[in-house]
Structure 1
Amino acid sequence: MSSFPEIWKDHITDAEVIAGWKAEMSVSIDVSDVKWILTCSAGVNALPLANGVHAYLISETIFRVNACLNKVDKYGNQQQAKTWHHAHMKQEIQEKTIGSSVSEKSERKQIAKSFGMTVLGMRHSGKSEEFVDEMFTQKQWNDLLPRCDYIVVILPFTPEMRNMFGKIKFKLIKLTAFFINIGRRNRVIQNELVHVLMDKDIAGAGR
């Protein structure tokens, strides 16, 4: 994609494939015709189509992470070897409590409810949403975190979200709780997460 708007400006609304992306395209793009955007950058925060496009995949990833944390793979290996050991399985998700940031998509909450989980949500406005049993605002971490058996972080990329999770918030989490970060790693202070895992202050973490 050329750096000069006069070259691509008259064609952007007719494009089905865009190779290269520039922020100034956001004001003119007609998203109904675009099938594919190719970007060479590491981040996709400026893309107009990035929000919610992988809702099902993210939901599935969260529950696959839970299976790994609970060492389901070890049970499969033991079955093949015809041996048995409890493998220190942590817990089942049935009737547990999951806390998550809330996006416009509801697939993740629907799946959690199908497992009989209590779903606690967090959004800036605190507005209620279907499939969420109780909603919190970002000023209510102290109320939300101690109640969760699973904390799922899917926060947007904004400066105030940087290093959102560190030792102060980890101290609010149950010793038996799992922390799952599906968003960018800069939401979490990594060395402080490593310390709480080594000290067994939480049950486990995944991403």
Structure 2
Amino acid sequence: MVTILFTRYYEMLEEKHIMQIKNISKNVKVIIDENVFKVIPDVDILIAGTFNKEILERAEKLQWVHALAAGVDRLLFPEFRESDIVLTNSSGVHPIPISEHVLGMMLMLTRRFNKSMKSQSQKKWERPTPVELHGKTLGIVGFGSIGERIGQLGKCLGMSVIGMKRNITTTENADEIMPPEKLHDLLNRSDFVVISLPLTKETFHLFGKKEFQTMKKTAYLINVSRGKIVCEKDLVDALEAEEIAGAGLDVFEVEPLPAESPLWEAENVIVTPHYAGSTPEYFNRAIDIFCDNLQRFLKGEPLINVVNKKTGY
């Protein structure tokens, strides 16, 4: 018997999802229990949820931890990194909602919807001067499945797309792929810079004063990945000094964003409270990914979406 534990109750987790997992094999048992310490000794697969050193120490049979998100930085405590337990994520859930969120931010900034909404709330008839996305250059820092989808939408709107990734490949969703060491070249050429990276030691504060000074003064930064990839103080300074034109931010160094943050009232900034990846289809897609891997696990086949615990992606 293979025992699978959800370590918390999810609002979107429905009975159909549990049955989908159980129907894969008669030898599968699914538990939903927030009292993790009580049940963890008998668990083979943990869907986190809650996971820490204390849980790991009590896990006698645990072979596989699955994250229902793409980012796994919060799970990578030292003892787990050093263990032989496999870690997988739900990469593939987010490309559609996050790419649409990015597109919405770009349209809002170029068509000046944010300014028109402010005028509407003040009952003022003010006509801003919009610009077009067509013909602009979209630089995507992190060209995985999410970056590919963002690039696809950009191409549909007539944008030139530059992607950045470690492994240089050809794709119809980008006009050019650059390696990470050419980040500043990408920044210098882009009208929109979208961050779509995992948070690792290498990407922490990847964007700071030098990066903002390298960007065009007419360029916009959009961050839909992790807040700590951007040095927020340097971003605020760059916005106030008009070193860049504006920003669309879904993630922040501290969440919720503190009330005293100047980002709240900046006219050239769109703030959304970390929901770019949210969608009514989230759990349907996430459970499909998990079930695909569960079938592989039961057959002894290699899993997909395996995370390198040393690098964090």
The TM-score, its normalising length taken from structure 2, stands at 0.53
1:8 corresponds to which residue? 43
Contact 2:108 2:114 in 1 (8 A): yes
2:163 paired with 1:121: yes
- Counterpart CA distance in 1 for 2:62 and 2:138 is 35
Q: Is the 8 A contact 2:51 2:75 kept in 1?
A: no
Name the CA distance, whole Å, in 1 between partners of 2:153 and 2:247. Answer: 20
User: What corresponds to 2:195 in structure 1?
Assistant: 153
Distance 1:141 1:75, change over 3 A: same
Contact 1:167–1:193 (8 Å) recurs in 2: yes
**Distance of aligned partners of 1:81 and 1:165 in 2 relative to their CA distance in 1, 3 Å threshold:** closer
1:86: Cα distance to partner?
Answer: 2.8
Q: 2:237 aligns with which of 174, 195, 202?
A: 195
2:16 aligned residue = none
For 1:132-151, list aligned pairs within 5 A. 132-151=174-193
State the structure with bigger RCO (CA 8 A, min sep 6), 1 or 2: 2
Structure 1 pair 28–82 and aligned structure 2 pair: CA distance change class (3 A)? closer
SS in 1 for 2:247: strand
Partner of 1:87: 128
**Deviation for aligned residue 1:26:** 8.2
Task: Quote the offset at 1:146 in angstroms.
Answer: 0.9
- The one-letter code sitting in structure 2 at the alignment partner of 1:55 is P
Tell me the secondary structure at the aligned position of residue 96 of structure 2.
Answer: helix
When residues 37 and 78 of structure 1 are mapped into structure 2, their CA distance, relative to the original with a 3 A threshold, is closer
Asked if 2 retains the 8 angstrom alpha-carbon contact of 1:45 and 1:157, the reply is no
Runs of 5+ consecutive residues of structure 2 not aligned to the other structure: 1-6, 8-35, 78-86, 250-313
1:96 counterpart (136, 139, 154)? 136
| Contact kept? 2:103, 2:153, Cα under 8 Å | no
Which of 79, 86, 99 is 1:59 aligned to? 99
Cα separation, 1, equivalents of 2:203 and 2:62: 23
Q: Secondary structure at the match of 2:243?
A: coil
The verdict on how the C-alpha distance between 1:73 and 1:121 changes in structure 2, with shifts beyond 3 A counting, is same
Q: Deviations over 1:185-205 (max 9, x none)?
A: 110111111011001111001
Question: Any idea what SS the aligned residue of 1:159 has?
Answer: coil
Superposition deviation, residue 131 in structure 1:
1.2
Paired position in structure 2 for 1:183: 225
Distance (whole Å) between structure 1 residues aligned to residue 167 and residue 144 of structure 2: 12
- Number of corresponding residues: 194
Aligned-pair identity (%)? 29
The one-letter amino acid of 2:243's match is D
Task: State the secondary structure of the residue aligned to 2:105.
Answer: helix
Query: Which residue of 106, 109, 113 corresponds with 1:72?
Result: 113
1:92 alignment partner, SS class: coil
Deviations 1:61-119 (A, max 9, x none): 11121233232144467689996433254x22111100002013532211111100001
- What is the letter of the counterpart of residue 64 of structure 2? S
Larger Rg, first or second structure (1 or 2): 2
Distance in 2, matches of 1:195 and 1:54, equals 31
Distance 1:195 1:130, change over 3 A: same
Q: Cα–Cα, structure 1 residues 45 and 176, in superposed 2: closer, same or farther, change >3 Å? A: farther
Distance 1:102 1:151 in 2: 12
Q: Deviations over 1:122-180 (max 9, x none)?
A: 00122222311001001002321111000000111211100000011111100100011
Answer whether contact 1:44 1:50 (CA < 8 A) is retained: no
Structure 1's unaligned 5+ residue stretches are none
